[in-house]
Structure 1
């Protein structure tokens, strides 16, 4: 297949405007491709194309010359019409083997741009007669990209490679009229139309956060240059913009845990089935998600090897080996690694991915008190990652028995809130494992207070993953793209030269560009992550939109008037507010502005979360509160059976007030946490559970969640 760069180069030689390339989920079949392009929010109107590879009936002694037909996807492409137009005998769809032999790719991935000069010499080319008149068409440019250009450009591209026949498929019998769309389908189509942003360009966000949240989220990540799709479903490429955020979180958290005496280490990603199955409760919780290696080359392994979904069973056999005395305690290890969890069907970037980056800490103590103290120390650090770095508010609490970590004693958690969907989301968890794992793996020491007696150590595990990036994006992003908190943004400031026209003298141009570069250096020296955009092939307006899309917190504009007045115009990404800053005060003023932006982002998110945590004491008010996109705190009895009933009773009915998003399940409410900060109002023996009527013992927060 011709590379995208080759195609673009060929089109440029034909004096054709460069196509707009849209990234989307990897797709195989045409149906998958259509859905992926729609989910990516490509601006309409457009028509997708299809490419057929046909094999005419050929004498056994003759070489097969495949027929390649490029048509509009909506065109009814009859093979009999192709056969008649090209005087070919009984042309049929080519086998996958023939397509692979001709193009080197699967049939579902072939497009007009798969045809190279070499391939054109081996096939016959034909196009739909209506293709050239189509104003905007989408052509596959790989499994996960689509190029949008004119139909005439596609035809010109093919004609530059060889002779192309035009086929009028309207000569074929008209198909029977399609059935009218169902009410549900019509409603879904209307909702999709309403979610589109009027006048949005393909390079920008084309659907609104409020109207099509899943489509918005996908676009804001790909167009904001945070990630790209990989050809293994559920896996994604973290580009520098997102990975740099993870690096900043990593550096901050790593420094704080080292201050607590934690050391970094690394254990292999593989775990034998015997070891993994040693802790039955733990394995049962992860069993559906475990990926297994069963073969090396062409040889079946004698024993399958699991890829770690988490590392308790990887590490603890060695804790038993290393911890021989109470003097070896505490043992505090952490590792920065990736894990694989394969169970779910609907992956979402950063939120649910089949491989993700995280840190996992595993510690061992002599006493329960020491272990429980550390659980809360780590939870406080996790809370600060969200509040101090990502400007995201969280509720700290304890998971119910039903929701605690499999095999653990109790789980402490941070819970966030996504305003656009009204759903809760687990932020990070810190688990007290008790002595369960130490009993299973034989991690014992001699009791220093009772000579000759062995006791099991107390253990914790705690983890924070790249999910934090997805949470941040969903909370702060808007219909222009990403909105990044300054403390974690790859670039905190972008400097853009403005006001340069054809009448600008070379001396003026050098002064403006030089001033921008000088300010970039000055800001970097002051510890600000700044970048000067001095590209001369894009207008200032284009640059403004691009950097807004990428979420840079502060834009500094510098033109001839600014140069004359020795000032610069600052524009905040989060509010659009403008501030004039004197050049002499730049190094001091910009860091202060960035801290203001950080504080504004947190304050806005905190106000939104606080206004959507509702306390309810009567069940009749519970589901209506949920349906108003709230998290709901209720007096609760703590009984698991009641927890299950709440989830079942609150399952969303088809009321038509919100389009369902299967990738962010909106089933009944689940318990999010028992907040540590308990509201007043629970009177022992008097206050009743809002769901079942038993005596309430605490407030518990429920919500629909990711």
Structure 2
């Protein structure tokens, strides 16, 4: 109803006898105003439930939570301080770890010549569909197109061949913190599937297979540490099957995550032993230090091709964290990566408090913040004018700040502050004299509790399946299936096909509401359940005649 229509309606009722109707009308108008306020609040907050529409929920959470802004190139996004700071905390933690084993940071150009990129056939085949090519410089067509790096193996290994002249130059360990472009044509999803993303990529060369293997597993442990110690997200460590390993690698190790809302897996980070494939391609070799020269030292020395590794971790991890912990109110940030770990909201500011009372409260709030800051807690005071405390509470909940601290005149009289945990909503109080110890302790508890809850859910959804008839129903209940498997490539492909919905209605007992995709192998977990007797246990695929070699984790995935 417009303002003019409202005015006419009021005028038409001036001559009417008094009745309860005007009162009811006023009540209706008041109700309408309240409804409009609620609608406005819904626009500010998250207005869709995670369980109802995950895609819409996710987009609202990361935009309204201040993590990203959209860009005018599809599949590319602006990382705002709230999300980029998470990447900085990850970088700080991991950078210290890799430097402890002698890795040095460097930078190689973003462009790779076509000749270099195509030198290793298997490698380029793994990326061919995603490579972005530069074909023009200004108005001029390039004589030879150049690729925007999808990864840097081929960009770096010519330099490795120049740098490594002797076994004394080994190990050579380099890492880049950079961006890569993979021109995905699937539906983009911020953090999880974007055309440009940030990552680190380590590339190292070793004299022996054993030395390379030791590093591969050390890096993987640290990748799991980023998720579990910083992001409070549980992971399963394992080896990729031959079908799923990195293109051109000898073997690939991986950390695999789980998104409870969809029951789908997501690859969290990979560490590859490239073997000697690239060193033979780029002629990276050294004299064998153990080879005894013949003829009094005048004979030819034996040359060895070096063993190489590559390992990478991306900003995809931020999306995994959001999907794991976020709820219907918005983000839920693990304290160790939260830009703001604790927010102080002054409350109880009324007209009765007066200017002197307001000044005293403000002074006390600043003093409290300094005590908390001195305890190495990232703390912020919300002193915004014109917003009520409940509005601020909702705003900080949407942004996922781990701990809210409320300070008002009544709290100061009791020499305490009130607290509210973002992860559970649990409220409590802390004596002002104990803020320096109790706030950090509470944040550590929140971090630990968030991981424990996520880990318990992940474990509940890993089912050991030995009967094929139970496989698809388990998938449809949002589970992963650990099955005895022969590790055969063709068998793995068949399982994926057999577990997909074909809409024929009679070949697979598929829930119509479940995803149509089949289950692929996620990894061969390092932590193997008991129950497989090598040489006796049959592969779970009913069409396979081979015997099982290990438990393999299958599931639908991103």
Pair in the same fold by TM > 0.5 = yes
Partner residue in 1 for 2:128:
287
2:544 equivalent to 1:678: no
Find the counterpart in structure 2 of residue 91 from structure 1: none
Tell me if 1:311 matches 2:152.
yes
- Return the offset for 1:652: 3.2
**Aligned pair 1:447/2:285, yes or no?**
no
Quote the offset at 1:693 in angstroms.
Answer: 4.1
Per the alignment, residue 658 of structure 1 pairs with 513
* Counterpart selection for 2:445 from 596, 600, 603: 596
1:471 matched to which residue of 2?
320
8 Å CA contact 2:403, 2:419 repeated in 1: yes
1:202 counterpart SS class: helix
Report whether the alignment pairs 1:566 with 2:412: no
- TM-superposed deviation, 1:502: 2.4
Equivalent residue in structure 1 for 2:58, among 217, 241, 247: 217
Equivalent position to 1:641, from 487, 490, 508: 490
Query: Which position in structure 1 is the counterpart of 2:92?
Result: 251
SS in 2 for 1:387: helix
- C-alpha distance in 2 between matches for 1:198 and 1:667: 38
Pick aligned residue for 2:478 from 629, 635, 660? 629
| Structure 2 SS opposite 1:455 | strand
Match of 2:368 among 486, 502, 519: 519
Counterpart for residue 552 of structure 2: 700
Shift of 1:343: 2.9
Contact 2:496/2:518 (CA < 8 Å) preserved in 1?
Answer: yes
Could you tell me how far 1:199 is from its partner in structure 2? 9.7
Question: Structure 2 length normalisation: TM-score?
Answer: 0.89
Q: TM-score, normalised by structure 1?
A: 0.71
Give distance in 2, aligned partners of 1:236 and 1:469: 13
The SS at the match of 2:419 is strand
1:182 maps to which residue?
none
| RMSD over aligned Cα atoms | 1.8
Instruction: Identify if the C-alpha distance between structure 1 residues 670 and 331 changes in structure 2 by more than 3 Å, giving closer, same or farther.
Output: same
Q: Tell me, which stretches of 5 or more residues in structure 2 are unaligned? A: 4-31, 294-300, 504-509
- Structure 1 match to 2:195: 354
State the distance in 1 between where 2:514 and 2:256 align: 24
Q: Which residue does the alignment assign to 1:579?
A: 428
> Aligned equivalents of 2:414 and 2:153: distance in 1?
63
d(CA) in 2 for partners of 1:659, 1:429: 28
Partner of 1:260: 101
For 1:408 and 1:353, locate their aligned partners in 2 and report how far apart those are by CA, in whole Å: 24
**Could you tell me how far 1:514 is from its partner in structure 2?**
1.8
Match of 1:489 among 335, 338, 349: 338
Q: Deviations over 1:2-33 (max 9, x none)?
A: xxxxxxxxxxxxx9xxxxxxxxxxxxxxxxxx
Tell me by how many angstroms 1:653 deviates. 5.2
Q: Is the 8 A contact 2:476 2:511 kept in 1?
A: no
Conserved 8 A contact 2:476-2:514: no
Distance (whole Å) between structure 1 residues aligned to residue 223 and residue 198 of structure 2: 16
- From 335, 340, 346, the equivalent of 2:181 is 340
Q: Distance in 2 between matches of 1:586 and 1:693?
A: 65
Q: Distance in 2 between matches of 1:326 and 1:303?
A: 36
2:184 touches 2:194 (CA, 8 Å); kept in 1?
Answer: no
| Alpha-carbon distance, 1:412 to partner | 0.3
SS of residue matched to 1:652: coil
**Cα deviation digits, residues 420-460 of structure 1 (max 9, x gap):** 00001000000000000000011011111124111100000
Q: Where in structure 2 are the equivalents of 1:485-564 lying within 5 Å?
A: 485-564=334-413
Note the residue ranges of structure 1 that are not aligned, 5 or more in a row.
Answer: 1-14, 16-134, 137-148, 151-196, 661-665
Distance 2:40 2:546 in 1: 56
Q: 1:423 is matched with which residue? A: 264
Q: Which residue of 2 aligns with 1:188?
A: none
Report the CA distance between 1:545 and its aligned residue.
0.4
Matching residue within 61, 68, 71 for 1:227 = 68
Match of 2:518 in 1: 668
Q: What is the CA-CA distance between 1:657 and the residue it aligns to?
A: 5.0
Q: Does residue 143 of structure 2 align to residue 302 of structure 1?
A: yes
Question: What does 1:42-191 align with in structure 2 at a 5 Å threshold?
Answer: none
Structure with larger RCO (C-alpha < 8 A, sep 6+): 2
Deviations, residues 478-501 of structure 1 (Å, cap 9, x unaligned): 000000000110000000000112
Match of 2:78 in 1: 237
Choose which of 170, 175, 195 in structure 2 pairs with 1:329. 170
Residue 506 to residue 589, structure 1, CA distance change in 2 (3 Å) = same
- Indicate the SS of the match to 2:201: strand
Please give the alpha-carbon distance, in whole angstroms, between the structure 2 residues aligned to 1:441 and 1:267: 17
- SS of residue matched to 2:401: coil
CA distance in 2, matches of 1:392, 1:658: 27
1:272 to 2:113 alignment: yes
Q: Distance in 1 between matches of 2:514 and 2:524?
A: 30
User: In 1, Cα distance between the equivalents of 2:339 and 2:193?
Assistant: 23
1:193-250 CA distances to partner (integer Å, 9 max, x unpaired)? xxxx999611111111111111111111001000010000000000000000000000
Residue 364 of structure 1, aligned match among 205, 228, 234: 205
The count of aligned residue pairs is 510
